[in-house]
């Protein structure tokens, strides 16, 4: 099928570079890129949502203050640590 499309400059440059690199005709590179993009789009919909399970912190040291991060690092790593 013949059709006319308007490509944005960055897309046209990437397609041209790929055609030069692979030695394939521009038309073939465009068709392969479209097929790959459309196939990936279909797969993305099939993904299940990401879930985070709640976990409890265990064995927290009672001698450390977890509210002040810099002081906590100083207590754990020593005052002269590299930042």
| Whether the predicted model's global pTM rises above the 0.75 cut | no
**Rounded Cα–Cα distance for residues 8 and 65 (Å):** 55
Furthest CA-CA distance within the chain? 74
Domain range list for the chain:
9-45
Digit-by-digit pLDDT tens for the chain (83 residues) are 889 999 999 999 999 999 999 999 999 999 999 999 988 876 766 667 888 888 776 677 777 777 888 887 877 777 665 55
Q: In sequence order, what are the residues at sequence separation of 6 or more whose Cβ sits closer than 8 angstroms to the Cβ of residue 75?
A: 64, 65
């Amino acid at each position: 099928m013949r059709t006319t499309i308007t490509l944005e400059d960055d897309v046209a440059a990437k397609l041209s570079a790929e055609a030069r690199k692979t030695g394939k005709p521009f038309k073939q590179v465009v068709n392969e890129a479209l097929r790959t993009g459309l196939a990936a789009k279909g797969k993305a919909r099939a993904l299940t949502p990401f879930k985070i399970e709640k976990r409890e912190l265990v064995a927290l040291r009672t001698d450390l203050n977890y509210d002040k991060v810099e002081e906590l690092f100083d207590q754990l790593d020593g005052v002269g640590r590299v930042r």
